[in-house]
């Protein structure tokens, strides 16, 4: 089979996403600038998010087997790059909603999938979903055995309901547009206090809670300033007893599987930020003389910095697309490729934007230019969606320690035969 990174059916998707980003998402910055609180800024993005839903982009990234129109992660990657290069806030709200739905897609029964996913397939409203895993104090070891704490949120049976108590943090838009809860919450919690930590964890689905979501604080994040990141309590939140995804005790596998796909998309996010920074720095270098006789792009140091930045962009995009394709076809090394994409793309973004700021000089430190904001947004990429140090490199380390690990499998080869599949 020939290696081909060209887009066929995704080309029109790419162009339509680019048009939407430039005409609609470009308005997020002006609409939120000057607003003082996280909730004010988040609320100001609702019209853009509603238009995104109305034009079918949320449906377009939900895979077709679940009622959407997406053909997989490659579709998501195409949309993610075009959107995130223009506005990180609404883009992350959409993709965090997809993350909130992934446990339903991966572990829900056919009946649960039909019931829970239905509202997100409509081209109307502003539906939000959230995967409520992270907790205050960190959740890198959410399934840790004693003496570790692991997940602290607990659920107990009460007749035909579960009652959930606990605290969550860093869960994108989980408290919804009104502070009372998103339309669908997939809550990772301890459902069997007597069991060992891993089998004790389950995911319970809570649909638009009537009561019990209590906002403690909206985080003032360095970047993604118009994306909502709450710290909140679940105080006696009720959900029906049949809202367990999969079998009780399957939360760890569902969480791990959900975050496998998103790793590759974070690599795309890094690509998008580098792309936006490069386009600005290139234009700046082509026209600015900074008091000299020639545009600064004529200087070798500037030209080389731009060349290195473009190399990193192309490498990050190719790796991320390849990881997405591997996940779509369930290739044996898909997880490994997704982890590489996340680590490389996220860390390259921070490094490349810093180098491009040197090209522009001190003016890049002024928020009137885009590079300072792009750096603020890039800094979180190595930290969230499974931090590169606490989670992602550890996952790679575990793969490398596996006796059956095949170092050639990631490009379709075999260490034993040298053959390429």
Rounded CA-CA distance 263/122 in Å is: 27
**What mean pLDDT is reported for the chain?**
93
Q: What is the mean pLDDT of residues 392-412?
A: 91
pLDDT value, residue 315: 98
Mean pLDDT, residues 343-366: 97
Max avg pLDDT among 142-156, 188-202, 367-381: 367-381
Mutual angle of helices 73-84 and 10-23, in 10-degree steps: 30
Q: Which residue has the tokens 């070798």?
A: 300
- Gap between the terminal Cα atoms of the chain: 9
pLDDT of 421 higher than 80 = no
- Band of residue 101 on the pLDDT scale cut at 50, 70, 90: very high
Is the pLDDT confidence value at 144 over 90? no
Range in 143-147, 181-185, 253-257, 371-375 the model is least confident about: 143-147
Given a cut of 70, whether residue 128 has pLDDT beyond it is yes
Query: Residue range 254-263: average pLDDT?
Result: 93
Mean pLDDT of 280-304: 95
The CATH number assigned to the domain with range 129-249 reads 2.40.110.10
Please give the distance of CA 100 from its chain centroid, rounded to a whole number. Answer: 10
pLDDT of 4:
64
Q: What is the mean pLDDT of residues 271-287?
A: 98
The distance of Cα 20 from the centroid of its chain, to the nearest Å, equals 20
pLDDT of 217 > 60? The answer is: yes
Active-site residue, 385 included? yes
Decide if pLDDT at 56 tops 70: yes
Q: Identify the active-site residue in 87, 183, 377, 385.
A: 385
pLDDT band, very low/low/confident/very high, at 8 (cuts 50, 70, 90): confident
Distance from C-alpha of 135 to C-alpha of 88, rounded to nearest angstrom: 23
Segment 63-75 mean pLDDT: 94
Q: Where are the domains of the chain?
A: 10-120, 129-249, 252-411
In three state form, how does the secondary structure of the chain look?
CCCCCCCCCHHHHHHHHHHHHHHCHHHHHHHHCCCCCHHHHHHHCHHHHHHHHHCCHHHHHCEHHHCCCECCHHHHHHHHHHHHCCCHHHHHHHHHHHHHHHHHHHHCCHHHHHHHHHHHCCCCCCCCEEEECCCCCCCCCCCCCCCCCCCCCEEEEECCEEEEEEEEECCCCCCCCCCCCCCEEEEEEECCCCCCHHHHEEEEEEECCCCCEEEEEECCCCCCCCCCCEEEEEEEEEEECCCECCCCCCHHHHHHHHHHHHHHHHHHHHHHHHHHHHHHHHHHHHHCCCCCCCCHHHCHHHHHHHHHHHHHHHHHHHHHHHHHHHHHCCCCCHHHHHHHHHHHHHHHHHHHHHHHHHHHCHHHHCCCCHHHHHHHHHCCCCCCCCCHHHHHHHHHHHHHHCCCCCCCHHHCECCCCCCEC
Which one, of 323, 332, 328, lies nearest residue 404 by Cα? 332
Confidence band, pLDDT 50/70/90 cuts, at residue 2: very low
Structure token pair of residue 63: 């895979």
- Report the distance separating Cα 303 and Cα 405, nearest Å: 41
The greatest distance separating any two alpha carbons of the chain, rounded to the nearest whole angstrom, comes to: 80
Q: Which CATH architecture has domain 10-120?
A: Orthogonal Bundle (1.10)
Q: What is the mean pLDDT of residues 232-257?
A: 94
What is residue 333's predicted lDDT score, i.e. its pLDDT? Answer: 93
Beta bridge partners of 129: 184
Predicted confidence (pLDDT) at residue 416 exceeds the cutoff of 60? no
Name the fold adopted by 252-411. Answer: Butyryl-CoA Dehydrogenase, subunit A; domain 3 (1.20.140)
pLDDT at 165 over 60: yes
Average pLDDT over residues 97-109: 97
Q: How distant is the alpha carbon of residue 88 from its chain centre?
A: 10
pLDDT of residue 31: 98
Query: What would the pLDDT profile of 288-299 be if each residue is shown by its tens digit?
Result: 998 899 999 999
What confidence category does residue 419 fall into, taking pLDDT thresholds of 50, 70 and 90?
very low
């Amino acid at each position: 089979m020939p290696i081909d990174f060209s887009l066929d059916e995704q080309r029109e998707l790419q162009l339509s996403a680019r048009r939407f980003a430039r005409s609609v998402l470009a308005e997020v910055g002006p609409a939120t600038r000057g607003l003082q609180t996280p909730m004010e800024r988040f609320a100001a993005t609702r019209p853009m998010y509603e238009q995104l839903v109305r034009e079918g982009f949320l449906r377009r990234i939900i895979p077709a087997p679940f009622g959407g129109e997406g053909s997989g992660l490659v579709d998501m990657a195409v949309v993610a790059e075009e959107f995130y290069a223009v506005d990180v806030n609404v883009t992350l709200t959409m993709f965090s909603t997809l993350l909130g739905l992934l446990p339903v897609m991966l572990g829900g029964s056919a009946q649960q999938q039909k019931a829970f996913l239905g509202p997100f397939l409509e081209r109307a409203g502003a539906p939000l979903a959230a995967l409520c895993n992270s907790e205050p104090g960190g959740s890198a070891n959410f399934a840790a055995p004693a003496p570790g704490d692991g997940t602290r949120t607990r659920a107990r049976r009460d007749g035909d309901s579960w009652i959930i108590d606990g605290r969550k943090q860093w869960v994108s838009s989980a408290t919804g547009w009104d502070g009372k809860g998103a339309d669908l919450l997939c809550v990772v919690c301890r459902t069997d206090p007597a069991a060992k930590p891993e089998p004790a964890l389950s995911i319970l689905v809570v649909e638009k809670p009537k009561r019990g979501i209590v906002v403690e604080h909206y985080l003032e994040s360095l970047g993604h300033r118009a994306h909502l990141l709450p710290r909140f309590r679940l105080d006696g939140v009720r959900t029906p007893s049949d809202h367990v995804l999969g079998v009780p005790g399957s939360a760890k596998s569902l969480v791990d599987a959900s975050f496998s796909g998103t790793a590759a998309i974070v690599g795309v996010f890094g690509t998008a930020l580098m792309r936006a920074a490069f386009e600005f720095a290139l234009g700046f270098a082509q026209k600015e003389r900074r008091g000299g006789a020639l545009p600064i792009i004529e200087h070798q140091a500037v030209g080389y910095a731009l060349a290195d930045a473009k190399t990193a962009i192309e490498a990050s995009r190719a790796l991320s697309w390849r990881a997405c394709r591997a996940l779509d076809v369930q290739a044996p090394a898909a997880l490994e490729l997704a982890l590489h994409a996340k680590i490389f793309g996220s860390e390259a973004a921070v490094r490349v934007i810093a180098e491009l700021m040197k090209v522009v000089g001190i003016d890049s430190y002024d928020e009137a230019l885009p590079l300072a904001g792009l750096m603020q947004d890039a800094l979180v990429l190595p930290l969230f969606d499974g931090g590169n140090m606490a989670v992602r490199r550890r996952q790679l380390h575990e793969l490398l320690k596996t006796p059956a690990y095949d170092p050639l499998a990631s490009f379709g080869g075999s260490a034993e035969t040298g053959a390429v599949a």
